Amino acid sequence: MIEFLQSVFEYTSWIQIFSLVSGVIYCLMQVVQHKWMWYFGLMTAGAALIVAIINFDSTGAWAPLWAQFILNSYFFLMDIVGIFSWRKIRSREGAQAVNIVKLERKSVLRYGAGLMILTPVICLIFAFTNDPDPVAEGISFGLSIVAQLMLTRSHIEQWFMWMAADIVAIIVYSGQGAWWMVGLYYCYILSAFFGVYYWRQHGAHLK
C-alpha cells in the first residue's frame, strides 16, 4: 500500500499545496458556519496523513511526523463528529445561519482540567521520542484537541484556543523548515481573528 502511495505521490509538493488550499477553504467555511467545512476538513486531514505516511516510509523516522499523524487522525474523526453535531445544533429552536452555543461554567472547568492534565502528559510522551521540540509540540497538540472539540459544539471561545494552538504550531513548523505548513497556520490565525468578529456580529446565541 505504501509503495502504491509513493508511486502516485512521488513528490509530496502538490499534495501539500492541496492541503493548504483545502485548509484555507475549511477556515473560510468555519467562519460562516457552512456545513461543507467538515468535508473540507476531512480532505485537509486526509492529505496531511498521506504526507506523513510517505515521509515516514522514505526517511525511516517518524518524529516529529508521527505526532502530526496522530493529531490529524483525531481531526479526521472529529470532522465526522462535527457533521452530526452541527446537524443537531441547527435543528434547535432559534437556530440561524451562524449559531453560538453558550459555554457553561462546568464546561469551562472540564475543558480547563482536561487541558491541564492532557498537555503535560503529551509533552512527557514526546520527550521520550526523538521529537525535536516535545514541549511546543505537546502544547500545540493539547490546545488543538480542545479547540476542535469546542468547534464541534459551536462555542465561540474555540477561536481563541485555535489562535494559541496556531501560534505554537508556527514555532514548531518553522523549526522544521515546513514552510507550507507555516503559511497554512498563518492563514488559520487570520481566519480566527475574523471568525471572532463575524460570529459576534452575525451569530445567534442558543441556550
pLDDT (tens place) for every residue of the chain, 207 residues total: 545 444 444 445 566 677 777 777 888 888 888 888 899 888 888 877 777 676 665 444 545 566 777 878 888 999 999 999 888 888 876 667 788 898 898 999 999 999 999 899 888 887 877 667 788 888 888 998 999 999 999 999 999 999 999 999 888 878 777 777 788 788 889 889 999 999 999 877 776
60 sits in which H/E element = none
Please report the pLDDT score of residue 65 as a whole number.
Answer: 63
Report the C-alpha gap between 67 and 147 in whole angstroms: 17
Predicted TM-score (pTM) of the model is 0.79
- 49 vs 10, 45, 61, 143, 148, CA distance in Å? 15, 6, 15, 20, 17
Please report the pLDDT score of residue 88 as a whole number.
Answer: 87
Please report the pLDDT score of residue 173 as a whole number.
Answer: 79
Contact 67, 141 (CB under 8 A): yes
